[in-house]
């Protein structure tokens, strides 16, 4: 049985992004189901979670000021905060992609730079799905253990980025200008957020490893749940 991974998507662009997500999850050994505003996002029915990209997160969630260029979806904000909270409560692993990394941070009490490249002027601004940006995994991070410490070529579509870290998070990667490009939870359940879009880079082994790590964590979590259930059944019989 393949573990089921719930994938939250934008109402605007999710119809074209979800097939890529599903492909990556399938290659990694899982199967994906799509969550979008207006449909039931039942975390208890899945083994892992992906919070996808698209749309800006309302600055009201972290005490920031609204900018005129922001493209917001408050209903999606609320849905994804519930998903992240439920995933942690239920011990389900989470992979955050671009907006998803930011939502992971905000849900845990962190803040964002709304004009990230205005703040990090030495960071190279690229806006492409091709691997034209270099990021540097932090030594000793879980991300570095997955993809090695060597610099990674990734894509970039974002203009916002993580500012102050949320509770229980640490930096997993930065770019050449110091902008945070990856975050991760310091304890279980597994939670990793990357600012780039690995779903577009399914041909790159190191980017596929992000999905493999999520699916592996989902399988491990499901096995632990089954074992605990079996112990409980045995205790009741005894």
What angle do helix axes 74-90 and 99-107 make, rounded to 10 degrees?
70
**Residue 113 annotated to the active site:** no
The residue from 98, 113, 138, 163 that is catalytic is: 98
Strand partners, 94: 49, 191
Single out the catalytic residue among 113, 158, 163, 197: 197
**Two tokens at 95?**
């992979």
**Neighbouring residues of 113: CB distance < 8 A, sequence distance ≥ 6:** 119, 120, 160, 161, 162, 163, 179
Whether residue 199 lies in the annotated active site = yes
Q: Is 98 a catalytic residue?
A: yes
Q: In this structure, what token pair is assigned to residue 55?
A: 């749309």
Asked if 123 and 116 touch (Cβ cutoff 8 Å), the reply is yes
Q: Please tell me which residue in 80, 138, 184, 199 is annotated as part of the active site.
A: 199
- Which residues are known catalytic residues? 98, 197, 199
């Amino acid at each position: 049985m393949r573990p089921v991974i719930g994938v939250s998507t934008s109402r605007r662009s999710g119809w074209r992004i979800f097939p890529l997500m599903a492909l990556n999850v399938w290659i990694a050994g899982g199967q994906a189901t799509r969550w979008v505003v207006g449909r039931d996002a039942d975390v208890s029915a899945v083994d892992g979670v992906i919070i996808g990209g698209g749309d800006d997160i309302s600055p009201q969630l972290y005490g920031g000021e609204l900018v005129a260029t922001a493209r917001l979806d408050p209903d999606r904000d609320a849905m994804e905060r519930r998903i992240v909270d439920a995933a942690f409560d239920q011990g389900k692993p989470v992979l955050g992609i671009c907006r998803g990394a930011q939502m992971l941070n905000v849900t845990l009490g962190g803040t964002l730079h709304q004009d990230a490249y205005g703040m990090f002027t030495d960071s190279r601004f690229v806006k492409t799905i091709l691997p034209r940006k270099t990021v540097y995994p932090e030594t000793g991070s879980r991300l570095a253990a997955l993809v090695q410490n060597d610099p990674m070529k990734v894509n970039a579509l974002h203009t916002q980025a993580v500012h102050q870290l949320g509770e229980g998070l640490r930096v997993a990667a930065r770019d050449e200008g110091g902008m945070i490009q990856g975050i991760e939870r310091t304890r279980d359940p597994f939670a990793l957020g990357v600012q780039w879009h690995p779903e577009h880079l399914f041909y790159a082994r190191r980017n596929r490893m992000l999905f493999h790590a999520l699916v592996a964590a989902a399988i491990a979590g499901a096995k632990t749940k089954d074992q605990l259930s079996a112990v409980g059944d045995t205790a009741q019989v005894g």
